[in-house]
Amino acid sequence: MLLVIDIGNTNTVLGLFDGERLVANWRLVSSHTRTVDEYWIAVKLLCAEVGLTAEHLNGVAISSVVPDLTTSFQRMIRKYYRLEPLLISTRLDLGLQLLVDNPGEVGADRICDVVAAKNQYTPPLVVVDLGTATTFEVLDSNGDYIGGAIAPGMITAAGELFHKAAQLYKVELKPPDHLIGKNTREHLQTGIFLGHVAMIEGLIMRFQKELRLPNLFVVTTGGFCEEITRNSDLIQVADPNLTLNGIRLIYERNRRN
């Protein structure tokens, strides 16, 4: 059994794989105040839900964009599982090239996204990962990563708006009842949710123009990926577990080393 851990700025997602099959996955808040032992208790209880103990695990892989939490999870895995986790980085065999100015700047989560997308879909394509930031990853026809874009995530942007505007209030982030809103709630939902969809579609259309590919395949992952995909005419697939599958694939390519 393989435990994969995707540590993000807002959430940490854990997945258990039996071969290629994702047995279970869970989402935790990425907390800097939890101790190594507290993380162990959380992981232990989650695994117990599906009848698994430390003895069932024979591998662990971590993708992280939060260095402090990387250290905490490494210590937890070493202490309680007696395993050395594989850390996702550009130094590993990825099965593709990172054709950008500085490959070392590409986040581990973005690496996992493109590795999984190349394996599961047919390039050229774009991966849109909806997290603290909304990131865009572009693969060329050879399946190599040629670049992308980073924008504020939908929740990140909305939180800043609610913080700065005294008379606005938090609303559920979903499509409004009316595109042209009839009240403040609908105004915010149109601007925040559908505005984010419009931003994503606008960048996709510009990618299509630059690459001269009018039918560029697009897959989304991360929070809200299914809702965003349902409300877009340019996105073909929502794949919530894309990053976890990417971690697994990279682990499988590199475990012998």
| Contacts within 8 Å (CB) and 24+ apart, 169-178 | 173/224, 174/227, 175/227, 175/231
Of all helices (H) and strands (E), which one includes residue 201? Answer: helix 195-211
Print burial letters for 164-185: b (CB count within 10 Å at least 16), e (below 16). eeeeeeebebebbeeeeeeeee
Least confident stretch, 74-78, 177-181, 223-227: 177-181
| Percent of the chain that is helix, strand, coil (3-state, to 5) | 40, 25, 35
For the residues 163-192, what does the mean pLDDT come to?
83
Is 101 in the active site? Answer: no
More confident residue, 143 or 171: 143
Contact 127, 143 (CB under 8 A): no
Distance CA 237, CA 248 (A): 20
More confident residue, 161 or 89: 89
Helices and strands per DSSP (H, E), number in the chain:
8, 10
Cα–Cα separations (whole angstroms), residue 16 to 4, 23, 61, 67, 157: 6, 5, 11, 22, 32
Tell me the pTM: 0.92
Distance CA 67, CA 52 (A): 28
Q: Which residues contact 250 (CB under 8 A, 6 or more apart)?
A: 61, 86, 88, 92, 93, 94, 111, 112, 115
> CATH assignment of 103-246, given 3.10.110.10, 3.60.20.10, 3.30.420.40, 3.40.720.10?
3.30.420.40
pLDDT higher than threshold 80 for residue 74:
yes
Distance CA 8, CA 6 (A): 6
Residue that has been written with the tokens 């399946």 in this structure: 143
pLDDT in tens, 119-154: 999 999 999 999 999 999 999 999 999 999 999 999
The tokens of 134 are what? 């909304």
Confidence band of 28 (pLDDT split at 50, 70, 90): very high
**Domain(s) of CATH 3.30.420.40: residues in the chain:** 2-87, 103-246
- Please identify which of the residues 6, 37, 101, 109 carries the catalytic annotation: 109
Of all helices (H) and strands (E), which one includes residue 45? Answer: helix 36-49
Distance CA 138, CA 140 (A): 7
Contact 25, 14 (CB under 8 A): yes
- Tell me, which fold does domain 2-87 have in CATH? Nucleotidyltransferase; domain 5 (3.30.420)
pLDDT higher than threshold 70 for residue 167:
no
Residue that has been written with the tokens 């024979």 in this structure: 58
Beta bridge partners of 247: none
Confidence band of 158 (pLDDT split at 50, 70, 90): confident
pLDDT higher than threshold 90 for residue 216:
yes
Distance CA 88, CA 240 (A): 19
Confidence band of 21 (pLDDT split at 50, 70, 90): very high
Residue of 8, 251, 207 whose CA lies nearest to 116: 251
pLDDT in tens, 105-124: 999 999 999 999 999 999 99
